[in-house]
Chains A and B, each alone.
Chain A
């Protein structure tokens, strides 16, 4: 196993446990915003989509698939973050406007 792969596995495990810890602290009140926020975060795959679309030796097929992926991931990011913010603006305490 190469060092790179080993490192990736460590990162994955640590990030996974960090995620478990962080999410367990989120109040059930905010489970829907949590879900739409993480939903937006999962569209981080836009990074991979940009890379495959923009590399110098990209074939036409890569460009078409990649651009579609960029578009879809962007929809996911934009819609995910905006809807999360829209929801959170509604959570108010008594008497606060």
Chain B
């Protein structure tokens, strides 16, 4: 009985992990989902510790304690605005762990054939996800320049590198490879991860983080094949599917093809058009003007973007929302799928500021409402509201689904300056007749509006 306890434990763990994702489908049951996941993971760990193969516990205990001691403060001390970075960092740790296990297995058993094949996939995905995640972390934290770094023949170099890695892997699987083959293969996998992220700009991060999530799951599933462990296969496959779907959703939201993403060859569009920030006239307004327009409206739609996260304006926006709601104004938030730096980024920030999730609307749901809105207030969003995506075939973002803010009666855009946004594309929305530019820091400007609002009639 004790001998087979771990098999029951794995079974329970697998079921709980499946339920944890199922319960995440609505905010009402989501926290139960997290609990199910935690208990499932506990069953997996305890079940493994009780397996008869395990004879020494000192090293394992050390790792578990040290990992918890680092992981817990990481989760509690990081500010909510650093969420994309934290997720990237966490990916890096998990993926690196998978790769190290693969490496250890290789030196322990030196397998060939199917098992080695699985190990090679595990190690390749583990190492490349680890370094790619560290790079993504660096870009999000702005240790590494967020602008895409490209050079001539980049795709060729990347593909060549991958090809060499795959040939080495084949040699190792076949069994007659010299001792240097596996370390070289590992090194190339690490390097490939770095090169993969170089050409990617901050705006593409949601897709990339989702994709890395998927790779981490694939690495875990590959480990399951190598160890003949169904629990690892199930958990890994679920995770791989999740990351895959999220990256497909992000791709669609940016009108990118999926192959484009799979080969990591994106981010280059950004160079296609340099800003033509001409001296076209714009209308700017003060906080006082903005407050009186908002006070006189019945329906306001707020469009948050990464700029809101940078300025940490979400709490001030909550104050503004509360005041407007008290005046009887209908306030809603329009969330573009790729607004921010990771899938669902804006939702979390607004939830942090205590804004009810019932006010947060997806793009398809709210786009038809802009026509009835008196004011569309754009806070730190740029490309996702650029009407050029609809009609300008020369624009790099042509075809990308956008929020139809330009259909609102008045559009107010809070922006630091006329500098073009991340993608370096000029936004014709700013020159439209019904657009008012509110120049300034998002947080400061919104708090000025909050101050002016009670004075407005």
Contact = CB atoms under 8 A, between A and B. Distances in A.
Contacts of B226: 48
A20 B237 CA distance: 9
What are the 7 A-B residue pairs with the smallest beta carbon separation, nearest first?
A74-B67, A19-B241, A70-B63, A78-B71, A31-B344, A82-B75, A76-B94
Given A29-B360, A68-B63, A83-B83, A37 B21 contact: yes
B54 A55 contact: yes
Interface string A14-57: 01111110111111111111111111111111111111111110
Given A20-B241, A28-B347, A74-B68, A50 B48 contact: yes
Contact of B63 (A38, A74, A92): A74
Interface string A55-97: 1101101110111111111111111111111111111111000
Contacts of A80: 75, 90, 94
B18 A78 contact: no
A97 to B, nearest CB: 9
Contacts of B230: 7-8, 11
Given A11-B233, A16-B238, A51-B54, 15 more contacts: A8-B228, A12-B221, A18-B238, A25-B22, A28-B343, A28-B362, A31-B347, A33-B30, A41-B17, A43-B97, A44-B231, A48-B232, A65-B100, A76-B91, A79-B86
Contacts of B51: 51
B33 interface: yes
5 contacts: A19-B240, A44-B231, A49-B63, A54-B56, A70-B59
A9 to B, nearest CB: 8
Contacts of B220: 42-45
A90 B78 CA distance: 15
Nearest to A5: B114
Contacts of B45: 46-47, 50
A65 B240 contact: no
A32 B348 contact: yes
A48 B41 contact: no
B313 to A, nearest CB: 17
Nearest to A24: B245
Central interface residue in B53, B98, B240, B246, by most chain A CB within 10 Å? B98
B91 A39 contact: yes
B71 A75 contact: yes
B2 interface: no
A16 B241 contact: yes
Nearest to A87: B348
Nearest to B65: A74
A26 to B, nearest CB: 5
A39 B232 CA distance: 14
Chain B interface category by residue count: 35 or more
Nearest to B62: A67
A67 to B, nearest CB: 5
A84 B63 CA distance: 22
B1 interface: no
B273 to A, nearest CB: 29
Contacts of B352: 90
B238 A41 contact: yes
Contacts of A44: 17, 41, 44, 220, 231-232, 235-236
A19 to B, nearest CB: 3
B71 A35 contact: no
A41 B244 CA distance: 15
Contacts of B329: none
B395 interface: no
Contact of A8 (B48, B225, B245, B345): B225
Contacts of B37: 37, 40-41, 81, 84
A74 B245 CA distance: 26
A91 B351 contact: yes
A33 B21 CA distance: 10
A45 B25 contact: no
Given A47-B232, A69-B104, A35 B209 contact: yes
A14 to B, nearest CB: 8
Given A31-B343, A50-B49, A37 B101 contact: no
A32 B30 CA distance: 12
B87 A29 contact: no
A49 to B, nearest CB: 5
Interface string B92-120: 01111110110111011000001000000
A49 B361 CA distance: 42
Contacts of B235: 41-42, 44
Contact of B24 (A8, A12, A16, A37): A37
B233 A8 contact: yes
A42 B354 contact: no
Contacts of B41: 40-41, 43-44, 46, 77, 81
Interface in B52-84: 53-57, 59-60, 62-64, 66-68, 70-72, 74-76, 78, 80, 83
A15 B72 contact: no
A12 B209 CA distance: 23
B67 A78 contact: yes
